[in-house]
Each structure stands twice: as structure tokens, then as C-alpha cells.
Chains A and B, each alone.
Chain A
Amino acid sequence: MWMAGSIGFAAPGLLLGLIALPILWLILRAVPPAPIRRRFPGVALLLGLSDDEQQADKTPWWLLLLRMLAVAAAIVGFAGPVLNPDAERSGDGPLLVLVDGTWADARDWPRRVDRLEGLLAEASRAGRPVAMVSLTDLPGGDLPFQAADTWLRSLPSLEPQAWEPDPDRLTAWADSLTGDFETFWMSDGLARDSRSDLLEVLAARGPVTAFESPRPVLALRPAQFEDGEVRLTALRAAPGEALDVPVLAWGLDPLGIERQLATATISFDSGATEAEVALSLPPELRNRVTRFELEGQRSAGAVTLTDDSLKRREVALISGRDDREGLRLLSPVHYLEQALEPTADLIDGTLEDVLLANPDVIILADIARLTALEAEGVQDWAEAGGLLVRFAGPRLAASDVSRDVEDPLMPVRLRAGGRSVGGAMSWGEPKALRPFADTSPFFGLSIPEDVTVTAQVMAQPDPALAERSIATLADGTPLVTRKPLGDGQVVLFHVTANAEWSSLPLSGLFVQMLERLAISTRPAIAEAAELEGTVWQPEDVLDGFGRVREAGQLGGVPGERLAEGLPGADMPPGLYAGEDRRIAVNVIGAETALAPVSWPASVTVEGIAVINETDLKPILLAAALMMLFLDALLSLALAGRLRGPRQGIAAILALALLIPQGAEAQTEDDFAITATSDVVLAHVVTGDPTIDQLAADGLFGLSARLYQRTAIEPSDPMAVDLETDELSFFPFLYWPVTADQPTPSAEAYAKLNRYLRTGGMILFDTRDADLGGFGAATPNGRKLQSLAAALDVPPLEPIPADHVLTRTFYLLQDFPGRHASRDIWVEAAPPDAEQVEGMPFRNLNDNVTPVVIGGNDWAAAWAMDQRGGAMFPVGRGFAGERQRELAYRFGINLIMHVLTGNYKSDQVHVPALLDRLGQ
């Protein structure tokens, strides 16, 4: 290959042909264009006329230049020019291609793959054995040296992982390396302790070349909730210029669709590697956030999942009527408010209002009676997963709630009155708490000495009582009881929520108990001890590109592993669910810092950028062809061949080549305007032109009769294509059924169903005189069944004698078309319709039947040509004309029915109304 600047030539010898160009110029100049022979009678008048100058018509210089350029382009093109030809890399022997394969690689993964492809192709040309190793997915055993082509084929399956290489495994693997090889290291650009060790080993085996991308590595630390704000910290590996990165909060909207809930911008100062933004979100929105991500960064590091630590539980506090104002410390909910305020969002209001907000927890402080409506609402809410916490108090003790029969909203039955211990009027000391049993959710909480109970409500002894008690007093009487209710639960504290009956609300234990009951929000980081022995199921996992996927069949992770926090192959980053909470494992921890790699001087560092070699040959040859075509056109024009006979062909050819085709004008609006400017009857296009024309003629005839005889003045009927046209403009569709018409698409059916539900009417006409009775005996009948299968058609019945269709305009009992079959099917009357004594009609359907089905070929009977003459014979003689007249009357009744509904049915009531009015 011979190079000229950045262009190389595969066959540079051909370029010598350029020397011949000046000679070509001279030759082309000397040769006049070939003459055209034309037959022309007027030649008699030309005889004797001589040209002004005998010099040949010279080819103009610009045409010559065009030809020269075309020839030059062809010569250069055939010489095989290549822009930016790949420089060959020297070297032989085995080659190790090392890929970090971490989340930081994902940011420009396609470019890395391109670069790897180039490397492998090069190695393939040089015939070098290649081993490709991803540090996050280390192979066992020796280096897998194979032909480069094999690696090239498996390259598309190489993907970055969402975690970083495991240092221990990496060291072990580095120690197992043997033999000499050259190394190309596709680095992700982040400093790691394990990297320098590995580099040492590799440098001992042969030369090392590293590739680095100049694209900055950005990452996002887990979101922190502080002072009512969500704090987000972004990191970058290398300090650089000031940079603004949008950060997006994603979550489910109330409809369960994932969408962007909030955005903010994180601004890196010049030279800073960390930047922070505080996001103030309403609790409702904040609880919905499932992850934050840096916009435009395709990497798992730029995504941070949120877990329960960000969620704040919504707690509704409901207390009984306050009959004493201003005594705050005596308020039943004062201590609850104090305990919950920092960690939960409190909701005030009446129970009905609160239920609408669907809180996580409802606390009823000394409320005995709920109205039936409230009780039902609360029970539904609790069964759907709500946590109902009740506190006892004087009112509960005085009431007979859950006395004889267990109230669904109480965990236990209560004895009347409750008891007081250690008071002035009673024997005994105030009771202390017994240590929590290991089945209790409070297990492990230390009980302060000074917590005593002076009064409580007592539970009835019951077989289930022991199981339901989760905290007891020293004498074994229950202090806190709990029972599951649907997906939720009901918890009763047998003491008041204020300090009247016990000192529990004054102690730190109270707060911890609330926390254990998941009433308040827990601290973000789970302690290792707490997680010990638990197994956590992944729900969602992140891949290397930061995409969230469902975990599927991934195995559970032990709590100890989760406590370590560092994701790896055995614990991909994602959301892990335990018994009652969820923990997010993110790629970037709260303490993670990023730093760029500093390569030692012995390592060659190359940019990742690949300049693809571009073959210029096709471009040049295409240009040469275009120029030659232009030359042909211009030559023809100059030689006068674009005029005279056949000029049109050349012009059309030129135009066709030069002018793209225009788009067709929209006619949808015209359709809508025509259809809505008047009442328009319409028929469905069946695809059979004869039938369609027949339907159009039939509706034309019916429209004319309507115009003559009634107040309905329709304009010309229209044809409706179910697939493309809007149906809602038409009150009435005539649908002739043919055996071979196409079945409408799903969208068309959706349109038809919408049409039927919103008051449209379709007249199905099988046009077969219903020979085999209603059903599938004829091809058209079968087709009708298959067509109507997907339609939302109500139950049907043969038209009853008192149907409103028999009297909307004319009084009819027969509905003939071209055939005189009796069977017409309409929507069935409601089963409870009964004939009232003295009324001629039943009080029937209160709406218009959406379909009328028959086979009398009405369109043929209605069909009328432009002069008003009938187009098809009906019957014989006068009887036939009578039949046609009845067909028209049926049509008029039908359209009247469509447009006026059951108005004629209402007339039934007139005698009764008149009677009531006393007339």
C-alpha cells in the first residue's frame, strides 16, 4: 500500500493513467459530436443554405472538464484509495487481551468492543494465538489461547459486569500464569490495589500495552435522607472542568408505570471530584422513588437503588374526642407524635379521610367504637396490608368492644373494666415488664428498670392468647397482643399511649418497640449482627449497564454476605428482600471514592479511539458515474437531441432521476367534514365491488325515500373502510356479509366495539334469505358468525311482535327486502319485561338495539339509480312492488329507530300519564 497523507492506495500504478488526461483533452476537443440523421420533408427548403462557419461545433470547455473529472475519478477510484488505512501492529507470539469488564467499562462499551475487534482482527491477520480474559469473569486453569477468529466470534457475548474484580481471586489467578506473552489491557480507568500487583506479573511475562478511554467515569453514591431532604453525591475519577450532570429519580406512578419522578442537576466544580445535590421531595413522591441515576451514563455505577431507608412510613394518628383543651401532655397521642415525628410522616384527620390516603399505619389511641362504615373501611385496608395499632384507655376499658365475641379489629377479647395495680386504692406494686420471648418481634430489646404499668385492660383467657401476646408483664398478663388480619395485622397495646397508665411511653423502649413494629422507619444500614442467619432474596438486579432487571431464579444471599456490602459475582447489586424489609446493594457504597489509574512509564497507554478505514473506491466510482450521466444529458442537450422527437422521454428521465416523489395530500379531514355536515348513512366496504356498489345504491335509495317522506334529510351515503375510517360519525352502518370478505383487524374490532357501545347500530345482511334458519347453514351465515365472534353483541332474540321497530314510523309486522324471510334478530328484551294489563306493548329495552341481523338483501330492494328508478326486480307484479314498499318502510323505521331511540316506546305510557294528570 502506498500512502499519500491519510489516504492509501491499493493499486497506485493505476494513478499513472492520470498522465493520459491532457491527451484525452486534446482528442475530445478535436472530435466534433456525431451528426443526427433526421427525415425531414422541409429539406427541400434547406437546399443551398450553408453554415456560417465551417468550424465543427466545438465541445465547450466545461463539458470537457466534466468529462476529465469523471475519467480522473474513475482512475483514482480503481487505484483503490483507502482513507485512514489501518496501520499494521508489529509483534508476534501469543497475545493476552485483558478486559477489566467492570461497570466503569460500560460507559463506552461499544467503542471498546470495536477496539477489541480491531485488535483481534489484527492478531488474526498476524496468525497470533490470543487469550481474552475478563477480570470480573476469570477463567479457571491455564490461559485459554485460541485462534483470534474464535474470540472474534464470541466477542458479542462479552459484557461488562456490575461489580469489580475480586482481589483475592485476581492474585491467585496472576500467580498461576505461565509462559511469555504480550498483553493488551483494556482498562476501565479506575485505580485499584489489585491492579498494580497484576501489572507487575504481566510485565514480567512480556510487554504490556494499556488502552484507556478519555471519557470521564461518573458514579453516584447511595441516596441519604437528612433533614427532610434526599442528598445525592456524585463522584468522578479524574478532576476536570466544571461539569453539570442531570440526575433522575425513577419510580412507579400511581398507575404502576415506571416514569421519571423528579430531576435535579449535580454540578461538579472545576477540579472537584465530588458534587452534591439536595432534593426536596414530597413524602408521597419520595416513597415512590425506586432508583436515582445520572442521565446519559450507561453504567451500573451511575445508578443507585433505594430501599426502605429512604421510605418514610405514613402514620395516621386518630385519637378520641378531646374533652379537655390545652393539656398537651395528657393528650393521648402526644408521646406517639414525639416518638414518630423524626422518622415517619404523620397524617391527621378523620378516619374516613385518612383511609383515602392509604397510610402504612393507623394508630387508634383509646378509640372504642367505630361506625360500621369505618370498621369496614379499616378492615379492608388492614386486610390489604395495613398495620392497625390500637392503644387502650378509659374509653376502651369502659366499652364492651370485643367482650363476648372477638372484634375483627381487636387481637383478643377483653374483660370488662380492666385493672389497676399499685395505685392508691389497690394492693400490689406497679408491674414491670417480663423479658421478651424469642418469638416476639421485640426480642433482644433491653428493658429499662423504670418502666412500670399501673393500669391495663385485661385479655380474656383464650387458647390463642399466648400465641398472640408479644409482650407481657411480669405476672404474665399480656401488654401487647397481635393478630394477623389478611395481609396486614392488628396490634393492641393494653395501656394508654400517654403516661397515665404506664411509664412506657416515657422510655426509649417505646420508640424501639414502635420501630420493631415497623411503625417508624429504621436506620439505613443494617448491622451485621442483625443480619446474621438471615437469607435475602434478590428482587431486582442491576446489570453492568445500569439496567434494572428482575432477579428471576437467582439464589438467596446470606445476611452476613449482605452485611459486607461489596457486590460481586455471588451478590450482584440489586434490591434484596428479607422478611419484612428490603435492602439495596449498590455498586458504589457510601464511602467509595474513585481515582484514575496511574500507569508506570514502562506501559504504553493508547487511546481507545478507532479511526475506521474508509474505502473511497465506491464513492469515487459513484461520483464518476454521476458525472458521466450528467455529461450524457448535457451532450444530448448540446447536440440538439433533447429537442425534437423523443425530447419528452429524456426530460422525464432526467426529472425522474432528479426530483423525489411528492407525498399525497391528506384527505382524512375531507372525509370527516363530509360525514359530519349532514346525516349520512354508511355501508361497510366488503372488498367485493359489486356488493359495495349495491350497498351504496341501496342506501342512496333509502336516503331518497327518507328525504321524501320524513324529516330526516340524509346526504349521499358513504363507504366506510373499517381499518382506516373513523366510525363515530355515522349513526348507522349497513354491513352486507359476503363469504369471502376479509376479517377486520384487532384495531378495527376495537373501533367497532367502541362504536356499538356508544350507540351505533349495524345492520348485518347475509343476503341469503336466511335459507337454513338462523345459523351457520349458508356460507354467509358462517361468515357472519366468525365476523361477529369478536364483537360486543348483547344476547339476541327474533324480533318480537311488540318491538319498537314495528312502529317507529310505519306500523309493520314484516320486514322484507328482496327476500321476504321473517327472521330478524335484535337485542333481546330484558327477562323481566312483562306486559302490563291494558297496554298494547311491553315496556321494552331502554335503548337502541346495537345490531339488527337478517338475510333479506334489503340493499337490493332499496337500490335506486340516479333517476329514481328501481334497479333490481322484487317479486312479481303488484305484490312485488308492495314488497319493495314494505322494504322501504322497514328502512325508514330502522333509521327512525336509530335516530330517535325508544321514543315510540315511551308513547306507551301516554294513557297512564294522561290518567295521572286527571284529564
Chain B
Amino acid sequence: MTEAADLRHGAETLAGPLPPLLAEAEHLAATVLLGDHGRRRAGLGDEFWQYRPATSTDEARTIDWRRSARSDAHFVREKEWQAAQSVQIWVDDSASLRFTGDKNRPTKGERARLLALAAAVLLIRGGERVGLYDEALRPARGELQLLRLAEVLSRPDGSADYGAPEARGMLPHSRALFVSDFLGDIAAVETQLTKAADRGVRGALLMVLDPQEEDFPFDGRTIFESMSGTLRHETLKAGELRARYLDRLAERKDRLERLSRVTGWQLSTHHTDAAPLPALLWLYSALERRR
């Protein structure tokens, strides 16, 4: 529990300085609950928006008599249109995220969970409903949900070498956040993104990489193993592989980029040696983006 508390504490510290994050809801119809989510136009909600002159189509009960009494015309008091959004998060918990190239750096998994939970804190503070995909943790709001999220996210990692998003409980027209290193099978990601696009789900992909994975600073005769040891590759001159490895990495990024463009998602890469705040800001802008 302390681990969960630590994680939440870290995430809240990170999320502290930001204004509440307001995610855009593209489809009002899909919203189940009205939230305190100003839409910057007149609609259903609690907050005052504007007075407008009454037209003949307005019902008499909508006229604001107090305002109208101060002039000759009749005015209708309009409220701001407010809505709440559901955001579902998937954080890769596979073995490959347990990697770090330097013991002074956090592992990719730690960074990924921190960013995800920080985003969740912001979203919940903004009145959104946040949930996870893989657990039976449906989107909900409130501090209690944050506690649940933190607990689930700080559970021991899975055992698979590479993870793939399992968007089983994807809500239509909700928002999604996938955090992973995306080094595993790209086909699974592709399937999920396509499925999400079909359901009108938009979201953000955050690729978390260790600097060593970007630089490949190896030389000499080397046996590379995946984190659980199931994959092996032996080379006699690791230095000579560098260029081709970097090509492949660039190709992988390129493919994700294309995929996200097609499906209307946002993609960013975060390195574990960089500060987490810029990544969180990017998440803020990516989830707030309106179409």
C-alpha cells in the first residue's frame, strides 16, 4: 500500500502545478452524465453563460424576468453547456518496461506509470471520469477512483516480454491513453487502434524509451537478451549493428506515427532521462485537443 501511496504522492506532486485538465468531449451524445465541464457555448449546465434577447420560439418560463425588468426587451438567461468525458488508460506492464540503462534512472515502467497516474490526477481534478482498460476498473470520478488507480498501477508487473493493449471494455467515443515502449508486436497495437477508431475513440500514444534504446551504445561481441530471457540475439560486432538498429527504431516510430495520423491519435516519445513534466504537458495538450 505504501508503494501505491508513493506512486500517488509522486503523481500528485507532478500534477500539482498544472491547471485542471479539461478534456474535450467530441460527442455530446455519448456522455452519460453532465459534468461540470464548460463547453464555451450555451447549453445544459449549472453555470451562467449569457443573457440573450428572447425570441418568439422561447418558452415563457425560460425568460429571466429579473433581467428583463431592467429594460424594455425580454431576455433569456442561458447556461453554459457542460459535459464530463470518460478517459481510459492502458499502461504497459510487460517485462520490457522493467529496463533501465542506468541505475540512477527510473525504469521505463516506473516513468510510464507515473505519467499515466499524473494524467489521471489532472483529469479527475478536471471532473473527468478515468478508468483502466485491462481491469474491471470502469471510468469513475472522485478521489476514491484515484486511490484505486494508484493501487492497480503499482501492482507487480506482468510476465510477458512485450505488452499489447487490450482494449476490451472500450467505451464508444471516450478518450484513451496508451503508455508503452511499443517495441513488441506492432500488429496488436495496430489492431487496437483500428478498433478504437471504429468506435470513435480518440487518444494519445506515449512511447517511453530509455536513452540506451535510442543510442545503442554497444560494441564488441555481445549477446543481447530480452528482459525475461526468451529472446536472444548474438553479434560479434555490436557496433556494426548500430546503424541498422537505429533504422529499425526509426521505422517503428514512423509506423506508429502513420498509424496515429490515420486514426486521429496523438503520438509522442518520452525518454526516461528527461524530466517528466514536459511529457505531462504534452499529454495535457493531446487530451485537451478538440476537433
Residues of chain A having any CB pair with chain B under 8 Å: 32-47, 49, 51-52, 54-57, 638-641, 643-645
- In the complex, are the beta carbons of A35 and B223 less than 8 A apart? yes
**In the complex, what distance in Å separates the CA atom of A852 from the CA atom of B166?**
85
Which residues of B sit under 8 angstroms from A42, Cβ to Cβ?
A: 183, 212-213, 216, 224, 245, 249
Least distance between B288 CB and chain A CB atoms (Å): 31
B233 adjacent to chain A (CB < 8 Å): yes
Residue contacts A-B, CB under 8 angstroms, 5 given: A33-B220, A36-B223, A46-B248, A57-B236, A644-B217
- In the complex, are the beta carbons of B245 and A39 less than 8 A apart? no
Q: Which one of B227, B233, B241 has the highest number of Cβ atoms from chain A below 10 Å of its Cβ?
A: B233
Q: With A43-B226, A44-B184, A644-B217 in contact, do A35 and B234 touch (Cβ < 8 Å)?
A: yes
**In the complex, what distance in Å separates the CA atom of A41 from the CA atom of B232?**
10
**In the complex, what distance in Å separates the CA atom of A52 from the CA atom of B245?**
14
**In the complex, what distance in Å separates the CA atom of A485 from the CA atom of B240?**
107
- In the complex, are the beta carbons of B212 and A644 less than 8 A apart? yes
Known: A39-B227, A42-B216. 6 other contacts (CB 8 A): A33-B220, A41-B97, A41-B108, A41-B181, A42-B245, A46-B233
Which residues of A sit under 8 angstroms from B70, Cβ to Cβ?
A: none
**In the complex, what distance in Å separates the CA atom of A879 from the CA atom of B239?**
81
Which residues of B sit under 8 angstroms from A36, Cβ to Cβ?
A: 220-223
Q: Which residue of A lies closest to B185 (CB)?
A: A44
Least distance between B31 CB and chain A CB atoms (Å): 39
- In the complex, are the beta carbons of A640 and B239 less than 8 A apart? yes
- In the complex, are the beta carbons of B249 and A45 less than 8 A apart? yes
- In the complex, are the beta carbons of A46 and B218 less than 8 A apart? no
Q: Which residue of B lies closest to A52 (CB)?
A: B240
Which residues of B sit under 8 angstroms from A47, Cβ to Cβ?
A: 231, 233
B residues 223-273 in Cβ contact with A at 8 Å: 223-227, 231-241, 244-245, 248-249, 252
Which residues of B sit under 8 angstroms from A35, Cβ to Cβ?
A: 220-223, 234
**In the complex, what distance in Å separates the CA atom of A33 from the CA atom of B245?**
23
- In the complex, are the beta carbons of B162 and A38 less than 8 A apart? no
Which residues of A sit under 8 angstroms from B233, Cβ to Cβ?
A: 43, 46-47, 49
- In the complex, are the beta carbons of B252 and A40 less than 8 A apart? no
**In the complex, what distance in Å separates the CA atom of A51 from the CA atom of B222?**
12
**In the complex, what distance in Å separates the CA atom of A36 from the CA atom of B234?**
10
Least distance between A54 CB and chain B CB atoms (Å): 8
- In the complex, are the beta carbons of B220 and A638 less than 8 A apart? yes
Q: Which residue of A lies closest to B226 (CB)?
A: A43
Q: With A45-B183, A45-B249, A47-B231 in contact, do A38 and B224 touch (Cβ < 8 Å)?
A: yes
B102 adjacent to chain A (CB < 8 Å): yes
- In the complex, are the beta carbons of A45 and B248 less than 8 A apart? yes
**In the complex, what distance in Å separates the CA atom of A765 from the CA atom of B161?**
73
Q: Give the interface SS of chain A, mostly helix, strand, loop or mixed.
A: loop
- In the complex, are the beta carbons of A41 and B221 less than 8 A apart? no
Q: With A37-B225, A38-B218 in contact, do A43 and B236 touch (Cβ < 8 Å)?
A: no
**In the complex, what distance in Å separates the CA atom of A869 from the CA atom of B238?**
66
Least distance between B144 CB and chain A CB atoms (Å): 35
- In the complex, are the beta carbons of B183 and A40 less than 8 A apart? no
Report how many residues on chain B are interfacial, defined by Cβ distance under 8 Å: 42
B86 adjacent to chain A (CB < 8 Å): no
**In the complex, what distance in Å separates the CA atom of A283 from the CA atom of B227?**
98
Contact flags B135-177 to A (C-beta < 8 A → 1, else 0)? 0000000000000000000000000011000000000000000
**In the complex, what distance in Å separates the CA atom of A305 from the CA atom of B210?**
87
Which residues of A sit under 8 angstroms from B227, Cβ to Cβ?
A: 39, 41
Q: Which residue of B lies closest to A35 (CB)?
A: B221
Q: Which residue of A lies closest to B214 (CB)?
A: A42
Least distance between A171 CB and chain B CB atoms (Å): 86
B75 adjacent to chain A (CB < 8 Å): no
**In the complex, what distance in Å separates the CA atom of A43 from the CA atom of B244?**
12
Residues of chain B having any CB pair with chain A under 8 Å: 96-97, 99, 101-102, 108, 161-162, 181, 183-184, 210, 212-213, 216-227, 231-241, 244-245, 248-249, 252
- In the complex, are the beta carbons of B102 and A38 less than 8 A apart? no
The 4 residue pairs across chains A and B that have the minimum distance between CB atoms = A640-B219, A640-B220, A41-B96, A639-B220
**In the complex, what distance in Å separates the CA atom of A39 from the CA atom of B184?**
15
Q: Which residue of A lies closest to B216 (CB)?
A: A42
**In the complex, what distance in Å separates the CA atom of A585 from the CA atom of B188?**
113
**In the complex, what distance in Å separates the CA atom of A638 from the CA atom of B234?**
17
Which residues of A sit under 8 angstroms from B241, Cβ to Cβ?
A: 46, 49, 51
- In the complex, are the beta carbons of B220 and A57 less than 8 A apart? yes
- In the complex, are the beta carbons of B245 and A46 less than 8 A apart? yes
- In the complex, are the beta carbons of A44 and B226 less than 8 A apart? yes
Q: Which residue of A lies closest to B247 (CB)?
A: A45
**In the complex, what distance in Å separates the CA atom of A644 from the CA atom of B102?**
9
Which residues of B sit under 8 angstroms from A57, Cβ to Cβ?
A: 220-221, 236-237
- In the complex, are the beta carbons of A45 and B245 less than 8 A apart? yes
**In the complex, what distance in Å separates the CA atom of A43 from the CA atom of B238?**
12
| Among B99, B102, B217, B223, contact of A37 (Cβ-Cβ < 8 Å) | B223
Q: Which residue of B lies closest to A51 (CB)?
A: B236
**In the complex, what distance in Å separates the CA atom of A142 from the CA atom of B268?**
106
Q: With A45-B249, A640-B238 in contact, do A38 and B223 touch (Cβ < 8 Å)?
A: yes
| Among B181, B219, B226, B245, contact of A49 (Cβ-Cβ < 8 Å) | B245
**In the complex, what distance in Å separates the CA atom of A46 from the CA atom of B216?**
11
**In the complex, what distance in Å separates the CA atom of A37 from the CA atom of B236?**
12
- In the complex, are the beta carbons of A43 and B232 less than 8 A apart? yes
Least distance between B235 CB and chain A CB atoms (Å): 6
- In the complex, are the beta carbons of A643 and B240 less than 8 A apart? no
Which residues of B sit under 8 angstroms from A641, Cβ to Cβ?
A: 220
**In the complex, what distance in Å separates the CA atom of A49 from the CA atom of B181?**
21
| Among B102, B225, B239, contact of A43 (Cβ-Cβ < 8 Å) | B225
- In the complex, are the beta carbons of B221 and A40 less than 8 A apart? no
Which residues of B sit under 8 angstroms from A645, Cβ to Cβ?
A: 101-102
**In the complex, what distance in Å separates the CA atom of A639 from the CA atom of B236?**
10
Which residues of B sit under 8 angstroms from A51, Cβ to Cβ?
A: 235-237, 240-241
- In the complex, are the beta carbons of B244 and A49 less than 8 A apart? yes
Which residues of A sit under 8 angstroms from B245, Cβ to Cβ?
A: 42, 45-46, 49
Q: Which residue of B lies closest to A54 (CB)?
A: B236
- In the complex, are the beta carbons of B223 and A39 less than 8 A apart? no
Least distance between A226 CB and chain B CB atoms (Å): 88
Q: With A35-B234, A45-B248, A57-B236 in contact, do A40 and B224 touch (Cβ < 8 Å)?
A: yes
Q: With A37-B225, A52-B240 in contact, do A45 and B218 touch (Cβ < 8 Å)?
A: no
Which residues of B sit under 8 angstroms from A56, Cβ to Cβ?
A: 221, 236
**In the complex, what distance in Å separates the CA atom of A644 from the CA atom of B216?**
9
Least distance between A272 CB and chain B CB atoms (Å): 76
- In the complex, are the beta carbons of B219 and A44 less than 8 A apart? no
**In the complex, what distance in Å separates the CA atom of A639 from the CA atom of B232?**
19
Q: With A38-B224, A42-B249, A45-B249 in contact, do A639 and B219 touch (Cβ < 8 Å)?
A: yes
Which residues of A sit under 8 angstroms from B221, Cβ to Cβ?
A: 32-36, 56-57, 639
Which residues of A sit under 8 angstroms from B231, Cβ to Cβ?
A: 43-44, 47
Least distance between A39 CB and chain B CB atoms (Å): 6
**In the complex, what distance in Å separates the CA atom of A44 from the CA atom of B212?**
14
Q: Which residue of A lies closest to B210 (CB)?
A: A41
Q: With A39-B99, A41-B99 in contact, do A643 and B219 touch (Cβ < 8 Å)?
A: yes
Which residues of A sit under 8 angstroms from B217, Cβ to Cβ?
A: 643-644
**In the complex, what distance in Å separates the CA atom of A643 from the CA atom of B220?**
10
Q: Which residue of B lies closest to A45 (CB)?
A: B248
Q: Which residue of B lies closest to A643 (CB)?
A: B217
Least distance between A642 CB and chain B CB atoms (Å): 8
- In the complex, are the beta carbons of A640 and B222 less than 8 A apart? yes
Q: Which residue of B lies closest to A635 (CB)?
A: B220
Which residues of A sit under 8 angstroms from B218, Cβ to Cβ?
A: 38, 40, 640, 643-644
**In the complex, what distance in Å separates the CA atom of A56 from the CA atom of B221?**
9
Q: Which residue of A lies closest to B228 (CB)?
A: A39
Which residues of A sit under 8 angstroms from B222, Cβ to Cβ?
A: 35-38, 640
**In the complex, what distance in Å separates the CA atom of A804 from the CA atom of B126?**
75
**In the complex, what distance in Å separates the CA atom of A643 from the CA atom of B212?**
11
Q: Which residue of B lies closest to A642 (CB)?
A: B219
Which residues of A sit under 8 angstroms from B239, Cβ to Cβ?
A: 640
Which residues of B sit under 8 angstroms from A638, Cβ to Cβ?
A: 219-220
Q: With A37-B225, A640-B222, A641-B220 in contact, do A44 and B236 touch (Cβ < 8 Å)?
A: no
**In the complex, what distance in Å separates the CA atom of A104 from the CA atom of B227?**
85
